[in-house]
Structure 1
Amino acid sequence: METILSIHQLTKFYGKNKAVDQVSFKIEKGHVYGILGPNGSGKSTTLGMILNVVNPSSGSFSWFNGNLNTHDALKKIGAIIEHPNFYPNMSAIENLELVTKIKCLTHPNYQEKLELVGLWDRKNDAFKTYSLGMKQRLAIASALLNNPEILILDEPTNGLDPQGIHQIRAIIQKIAAQGTTILLASHLLDEVEKICSHVIILRNGKMIYDGSVDAMNASHGYFEVAAENSEKLEAFANQNEAFETVIKLPNNLYKLILNKPMEADTLNEMAFKNDLVLSHLVKRKESLEESFLNLTKNEAQHA
């Protein structure tokens, strides 16, 4: 597997404030990576450093297995790390032609890129007439003009309405399906879960998770249960080593978090053998949001 980007203990101070704290991870070719974290977690600063916009305080990074310096690597990278910034009175085509001249690109396929982002029929309209979502889509088309090996996006759906968010996500999935590696920063769990195969989670500048989205969410799940005798049910659950945690919910429900695999019929049989009749029994999978909250909670406890 080709390594597109390798980051080693990258750190950035702004005065005494450590915005990014010894972050290390790798981006492998052909995957969609999300850098996930709340605002102020260091996502944009990390992207700024690898794109030579922000100078690192310490640490290092290398592009394309270390075979290219950053200046040459940038020719193989497409990136949007700020709000779309085009000339308002120029059309989409005219703005893309200007980008082509500035970047010294040869033979860009404007039609292909504008069709990909759904703007070919608006190619001759002035940029100022575009909605925010259309402006963002034109920015993506612009970032694709050099047929990059990796596309980097900072909060690509920020400020968009639900329709605009859906359109951007669909475009990112199309680009990924064509084999382009993608790295996007987002504070939206839903965005990462729907688009990304891998996730890097930052909190207060520190990396607290680096792995696949599936692995992050690979808990054994939990049961939601209820019985007429709630006290007996709670005692039964607390004495059973299969349950990592027992949480009392409203309406006499209990959440039994599993620490090993178990099916609902097995639990029902075990309860029956302990003279417990379950009036409610549902097995659920932990959501990405719950996994994220558990990760950040554990990190806060160890801080």
Structure 2
Amino acid sequence: MEPILTINNLTKKFGYLTAVKDLSFTINKGNVYGILGPNGSGKSTTLGVVLNVVNKTNGNFHWFDGNTSTHEALKKVGAIIERPNFYPYMTASENLKLVCKIKGVDYSKIDEKLEIVGLLERKDSKFKTYSLGMKQRLAIASALLNDPEILILDEPTNGLDPQGIHQIREIIKQIAAKGTTILLASHLLDEVEKVCTHVVVLRKGKKLYSGRVDEMISSHGFFELKTNKEQELLSFLEQDKSFGNIKVEEGLITAFLNEPMSSEDFNRKLFDEGIILTHLVQRKESLEEQFLQLTDNN
């Protein structure tokens, strides 16, 4: 695995507040990483430190093989960590020409990147006529102009309508499919589950989990159940070692599995015990279930 970014025991304090505490993780080439956590969990601070806009308190980080200075490494990084900031009375194309001058990139890249984000037909429209989603897509095009090895996005779908959110997520997937490594910060579980291959879960600046998204949600799932014999069903579930955590909410019983079991076998077992179900749904445990379990225990 070729490392793109390695973070070791990173800590950042703002006075008495510790925004990031002893954080370590590695981002390898060709994956989509999500830093997931509620607002105030240290996501943006972590991105700020590795992009040299926030000074660290302790620990260290290095880009690529560790022999490249951060200044040089950042030439291979594309990042959007604030709201898009373009000149309102200039067209998309004119705005990107300015970025090309700053980055020392050829103008020929402009149409190529506008096509990736679906804005080529609107390249001669003034920035002020763009919707919020279009502005965000233009920012992504801008961050891609230097053909970065890694694209860093802080809350890329914040404030967008459902269509805008869908468009941004599809663009992220397309960029990743072409081999660009992506690191995105998000408080949306749904976003990380749909877009990312790996996740780092933060809470109050501390890492709760780091690993593959599919491994985090590779539990055996759970059954959602209803019956007229609720107490008998609960007693049965509590005595059966196939089940772990059991929750009851407004007549709906959620029983988490410790091992694989088909709904057909389970239903037959209950029928033999004289318990008839009025509702039976088998679900895979979502990232949200996992996330809530992680954050509840800390």
Give the structure-1-normalised TM-score.
0.94
Paired with 1:108 and 1:296, the residues of 2 have a C-alpha distance of 47
| Counterpart residue number, 2:241 | 241
Question: How has the CA–CA distance of structure 1 residues 71 and 263 changed in structure 2, closer, same or farther, with 3 Å as cutoff?
Answer: same
Deviation at 1:105, TM superposition (A): 2.4
Is the counterpart of residue 63 in structure 1 residue 60 in structure 2?
no
| Counterpart residue number, 2:82 | 82
Aligned positions of 1:87-236 closer than 5 A: 87-106=87-106, 108-236=108-236
Question: How has the CA–CA distance of structure 1 residues 269 and 175 changed in structure 2, closer, same or farther, with 3 Å as cutoff?
Answer: same
Tell me, which stretches of 5 or more residues in structure 2 are unaligned? none
Question: How has the CA–CA distance of structure 1 residues 121 and 282 changed in structure 2, closer, same or farther, with 3 Å as cutoff?
Answer: closer
Deviation at 1:107, TM superposition (A): 5.7
8 Å Cα contact 2:2/2:28 also seen in 1:
yes
Which region of structure 1 is more displaced relative to structure 2, 126-135 or 183-192? 126-135
Deviation at 1:126, TM superposition (A): 1.8
Is the counterpart of residue 29 in structure 1 residue 29 in structure 2?
yes
RMSD of equivalent CA atoms: 1.5
Deviation at 1:143, TM superposition (A): 0.5
8 Å Cα contact 1:173/1:195 also seen in 2:
yes
8 Å Cα contact 1:108/1:146 also seen in 2:
no
Question: How has the CA–CA distance of structure 1 residues 106 and 272 changed in structure 2, closer, same or farther, with 3 Å as cutoff?
Answer: same
| Counterpart residue number, 2:294 | 295
Is the counterpart of residue 285 in structure 1 residue 281 in structure 2?
no
Aligned positions of 1:266-277 closer than 5 A: 266-277=265-276
8 Å Cα contact 2:198/2:211 also seen in 1:
yes
Which runs of structure 1 show a deviation greater than 4 angstroms over 4 or more consecutive aligned residues? none
Paired with 2:2 and 2:121, the residues of 1 have a C-alpha distance of 37
Paired with 1:77 and 1:191, the residues of 2 have a C-alpha distance of 22
Identity %: 62
1:180-221: per-residue Cα shift (whole Å, max 9, x none)? 000011111111111111111111111111111111111111
Amino acid in structure 2 at the alignment position of 1:76: K
Paired with 2:85 and 2:280, the residues of 1 have a C-alpha distance of 54
Which region of structure 1 is more displaced relative to structure 2, 43-52 or 67-76? 67-76
Question: How has the CA–CA distance of structure 1 residues 280 and 124 changed in structure 2, closer, same or farther, with 3 Å as cutoff?
Answer: closer
Deviation at 1:228, TM superposition (A): 3.7
| Counterpart residue number, 1:261 | 260
Question: How has the CA–CA distance of structure 1 residues 147 and 235 changed in structure 2, closer, same or farther, with 3 Å as cutoff?
Answer: same
Paired with 2:3 and 2:113, the residues of 1 have a C-alpha distance of 26
| Counterpart residue number, 1:11 | 11
Question: How has the CA–CA distance of structure 1 residues 156 and 226 changed in structure 2, closer, same or farther, with 3 Å as cutoff?
Answer: closer
Question: How has the CA–CA distance of structure 1 residues 14 and 231 changed in structure 2, closer, same or farther, with 3 Å as cutoff?
Answer: same
Question: How has the CA–CA distance of structure 1 residues 129 and 231 changed in structure 2, closer, same or farther, with 3 Å as cutoff?
Answer: closer
